[in-house]
A and B are shown apart, each in its own frame.
Chain A
Amino acid sequence: MTPAGFSPRSRSVAVAGALAAGFALLALVGPFIVPHDPLAVDLAQRFEAPNLVHLLGTDHLGRDILSRLIAGARTTLGSVLVVLALVLALGVSVGGLAGMLGGRIDAALMRLCDVFLTVPTFVLALFMIGALGTGLVNVVAAIVLSHWAWYARIVRGLVLESKARDYVLAARIAGAPARAIFAEHVLPGIVPPLAALATLDIGHMALHVAGLSFLGLGVQPPTPEWGVMINDARAFFWTRPLLVVWPGLAIALAVLAFNRLGDALRDRLDPTLVAGRGL
């Protein structure tokens, strides 16, 4: 690998990494560093242009946009983190079980996955919200339910691939039970590709959270969230386009940063995709 910062390629990765780290930091400490209360309504100051007090201006209720963006990072990225944790937990358990046990259990679990894979995220979300009401928890549940099966299939494939390796056969001959084979030989090999995949999916899932919130199904106003902010600003798009631009830019940057990082991770973990580099 070339040292970071030399080729344009590694520079873009460094920028993406810094951006992603910045977003993660915002999500972590955002509420403590916001310049203003993101919920404080001040109708006297609505639609202020960017100025020294309100660096990005204020919205239709006079709330500070920068503060709402910072606080929104926690809502959006935090819920994505929960989604990913649940999706990975479910995916690794079901996919791991199916791959390790094989036979009828494998077949049954994979049919179950197929059922979940046929349901589009938005349809499932609409159904759940219709049945259980709006809210972030239901949106998270809907995204998890429509994505875990995809991870389960990938994990199963990775497990089958690493199960066929000679060193797994050698471990069986060494008396290792299936549990130990999975934990010591199979899992360490599938963590890196899963990490790359999950990073690639952060942007994708952030879009889902923001998109569902934009439609008014997820996070409810006045909670700061990027999708909610775009929805709020929609009515004023022709007169105050900047109100849409700021949260839109935040979503775009986050998605781009995490995608680039995921790509870089995948390249690094799968050298066959980038044959010839570093030689």
Chain B
Amino acid sequence: MSARILRAEGLAVETWRDARRGGEPVPLVRDATLELRAGEVLALVGASGSGKSLACAALLDVLPPGTRRRAGRILLDGAPAEPASLRGRAVACVLQAPRTAFNPLRTIGDHAGETLAAAGLRGRAGRASMERALAAVGLGGDPHLPELYPFQMSGGMLQRAMIALALLTRAPFLIADEPTTDLDLVAQAGILDLLAGLVRERGMGLLIVTHDLGVVARLADRVAVMEEGRVVETNDAASLFAHPAHPATRALLAAHHALYEVPR
């Protein structure tokens, strides 16, 4: 049976290129704890540079060059797990810029084949599950879609294809880092509807990183707010919007609501 709770405890990330040159390492994420449950959407929000993407990268063990995880552990249903062993098995991920995440020289079908091979599915069974996954993300209408190259698809289609690849792994948890930032609002609304549907119908646990509280309002059950590398507030979405406790949360909410105002 698939896992129910993914928990990252006390994550800390720092720069280490400088440290090797004799400089002080700069802490980027400090003691961040996140708990993601199956069937629920956890939004990780914060201003640019608050460390939210790095916290996710640490969770997946895909930290960018020049940074390293200093502390923290990952628990899957309470049992310690290696982040690298979770990737593609218990946890799938969807990245911000779909165009750079695909190999431009390979078709969508090639990419799917790679993911399927990693999951041990080949031949007809593999093709069938690819078709199911593409249908699930709303790309099932076109039988020639697996033959398309990334440049032949719009940003919204590519992001759907990336989610389809994530579904192929059958991972119970999905981490999406700013999945709609590069899309226009109409494409964004489509992707968010799709993600909400996947959580509802498949009982997946979704961790979505975003700077847009509109995305949070649309999708999230619970929200964790980060500021300067720390998780400063975690609450269910409705309470957080109604009664923000931390000043960082209040600042984000104030700016968010200001966007909806129409000045006289």
Contact = CB atoms under 8 A, between A and B. Distances in A.
B23 interface: no
B73 interface: no
Interface of B: 17, 65-66
Contacts of B65: 276, 279
A29 to B, nearest CB: 39
Interface string A264-279: 0000000000001011
Contacts of B17: 278-279
Nearest to A275: B65
Contacts of A276: 65
A278 B65 CA distance: 9
The 5 closest A-B pairs by CB, nearest first: A279-B65, A279-B66, A279-B17, A276-B65, A278-B17
A17 B174 CA distance: 51
A276 B64 CA distance: 11
A276 B17 CA distance: 12
In this complex, the interface size class of chain A, counting residues with CB under 8 Å from chain B, is under 10
A279 B17 CA distance: 6
B223 to A, nearest CB: 34
A34 B65 CA distance: 52
A213 B170 CA distance: 69
A276 B66 CA distance: 10
Contacts of A278: 17
Interface in A230-277: 276
A279 B63 CA distance: 12
B32 to A, nearest CB: 23
A279 B65 CA distance: 6
A276 B65 CA distance: 8
Nearest to B17: A279
B224 to A, nearest CB: 29
A3 to B, nearest CB: 10
5 contacts: A276-B65, A278-B17, A279-B17, A279-B65, A279-B66
Nearest to B16: A279
Nearest to B67: A279
Contacts of A279: 17, 65-66
A145 B66 CA distance: 46
A271 B134 CA distance: 37
Contacts of B66: 279
Nearest to A277: B65
A278 B17 CA distance: 8
A278 B66 CA distance: 9
B208 to A, nearest CB: 29
A259 B17 CA distance: 30
B19 to A, nearest CB: 12
A235 B66 CA distance: 60
A278 B21 CA distance: 11
B67 to A, nearest CB: 10
A213 B65 CA distance: 51
A278 to B, nearest CB: 8
A164 to B, nearest CB: 16
A276 to B, nearest CB: 7
Nearest to B64: A279
A245 to B, nearest CB: 46
Nearest to A276: B65
A278 B20 CA distance: 10
A81 to B, nearest CB: 38
Interface string A136-171: 000000000000000000000000000000000000
A178 to B, nearest CB: 30
A196 to B, nearest CB: 23
B7 to A, nearest CB: 29
A106 to B, nearest CB: 24
A268 B106 CA distance: 30
B123 to A, nearest CB: 35
Nearest to B65: A279
A279 B68 CA distance: 10
A270 to B, nearest CB: 16
